[in-house]
Amino acid sequence: MSYQAANNRYQSMKYNRTGNSGLLLPALSLGLWHNFGGVDSYENGRSMLRRAFDLGITHFDLANNYGPPPGSSEEMFGKIMKTDLAPYRDELVVSTKAGYYMWEGPYGEWGSKKYLVSSLDQSLKRMDLDYVDIFYSHRPDPNTPLEETMAALDLIVRQGKALYVGISSYSPEQTKEAVRILNDLGTPLLIHQPRYSMFDRWIENGLQDVLSESGVGSIAFCPLEQGLLTNKYLGGIPGNSRAASEHSPFLSEAGITPEKIAKVEKLSELAKERGQSLAQMALAWVLREGKVTSALIGASRVSQIEENVKALDHLEFSQDELTLIDQILAK
């Protein structure tokens, strides 16, 4: 039976303007970093994408190296676009990135024009798309002039391969300069994708100010610290968790310290008082005060997406709650 999107898909999702642009992004976007690769269940990935769209999540975030193996997340997404989502292409925001290692030789990573243009061409083939809505420089390149990397993003827009461009994990100083270069070229920077969560607040030390002053949006990745800001690890490390997986490049058993678990326990108590799960409160916290355009969630099953979307039912915090969260995190 062919897929038909839910008729009420836009009734409960919150959409935020991305900086000074005309583009609205859902408050929650779905990332395909994990659980959509060649080693994962195609039908589970398909179910999650369909359910996400039914809940009003219109933005799907990919990168050339997502998998594993690298490229396989884009391939899976391309198949699901063809079978299910193609009729809704104009209702979707599809993003991809290039910057990390993708193929052998001197042109297979970082930020040269050669690599970025070639990588996007490959991504479009894997997804069977004519264009992406957002294309990112996935990380700053210390050896390529920023002017070259930004000129590549400008070229890609002028070629019609992307509608907007973004950057990820750039420092406040690098971001400010990227904004200047792109403005001079006539292709404004749309969005920055930094890591941001209760446990990783680096963007509060200057980057958020730069983005606000420059009219650039932001989308936070790892807002749940890959599951640490949920109840998943309160009783130990499950065998099927990301921390126990050999495919997880960041979260490991060593990173789940007693000190962090003690903080998670206290945060979970506060979430219960708010009538939320810890994951829902952590997402609401990232989105507080409207400084973040969208929080980028991951999922391994449909129920996680459904739980996360309910975070939007209670986004407000009292000053006492924010103060208590700061105190818990500072201990």
Cα four-point dihedral sign 112, 118, 120, 123: negative
Which pLDDT band holds residue 236 (cuts at 50, 70, 90)?
low
* Phi and psi, residue 25, nearest 5°: -115, 145
Mean pLDDT estimate for the chain: 94
| Architecture of the domain made up of 18-330 | Alpha-Beta Barrel (3.20)
pLDDT at 101: 98
- Give residue 129's pLDDT band: very low, low, confident or very high (50, 70, 90): very high
pLDDT computed for residue 331 by the predictor = 81
Residue 286 confidence (pLDDT):
98
What is the reported pTM?
0.94
pLDDT in tens, 57-94: 999 999 999 999 999 999 999 999 999 999 999 999 99
Q: 162 by DSSP, 3-state: which?
A: strand
What is the DSSP secondary-structure string of 17-66? E-TTSS-EEESEEEE-SSSSSTTS-HHHHHHHHHHHHHTT--EEE--TT-
Sign of the dihedral defined by the CA atoms of residues 279, 280, 285, 286, in that order: positive
The predicted pLDDT at position 234 comes to 78
| Closest to 309 (Cα-Cα) out of 329, 287, 289 | 287
What does the alpha-carbon distance between residue 156 and residue 133 come to, in Å, rounded to a whole number?
11
Q: What are the beta bridge partners of residue 15?
A: 26
Cβ–Cβ contacts within 10 Å for residue 93, how many? 21
Q: With beta carbons less than 8 A apart as the criterion, state whether 157 and 165 touch.
A: yes
The Cα 209–Cα 271 span in angstroms is 28
Please give the Cα distance from 212 to 293 (Å, whole number): 11
115-124, 157-166, 248-257: which range is least confident on average? 248-257
Question: Is residue 38 packed enough to be buried (19+ CB in 10 Å), middle (13-18) or exposed (0-12)?
Answer: middle
Alpha-carbon distance of 99 to 173, in angstroms, equals: 19
Rounded distance, CA 6 to CA 289, Å? Answer: 30
Lowest mean per-residue pLDDT among 1-10, 169-178, 248-257, 283-292: 248-257
Burial zone of 280 (CB within 10 Å; 0-12 exposed, 13-18 middle, 19+ buried): buried
- The DSSP annotation for 126-143 comes to HHT-S-EEEEEE-S--TT
Residue range 147-174: average pLDDT?
Answer: 98
The pLDDT assigned to 244 comes to: 44
Residue 219's CB is within 10 A of a number of other CB atoms, namely: 27
Strand ranges (E), the chain = 15-17, 24-26, 28-31, 59-61, 93-98, 132-137, 162-168, 189-193, 217-221, 294-297
Nearest-5° Cα angle at 328, 323 to 329? 100
pLDDT (0 to 100) of residue 15: 98
Among the listed residues 213, 212, 183, 231, the one whose alpha carbon sits nearest the alpha carbon of residue 291: 212
Q: Answer whether residue 210 shows pLDDT above 80.
A: yes
51 with 302: CB under 8 angstroms?
A: yes
Instruction: Please report which confidence band the pLDDT of residue 253 belongs to, taking 50, 70 and 90 as the band edges.
Output: low
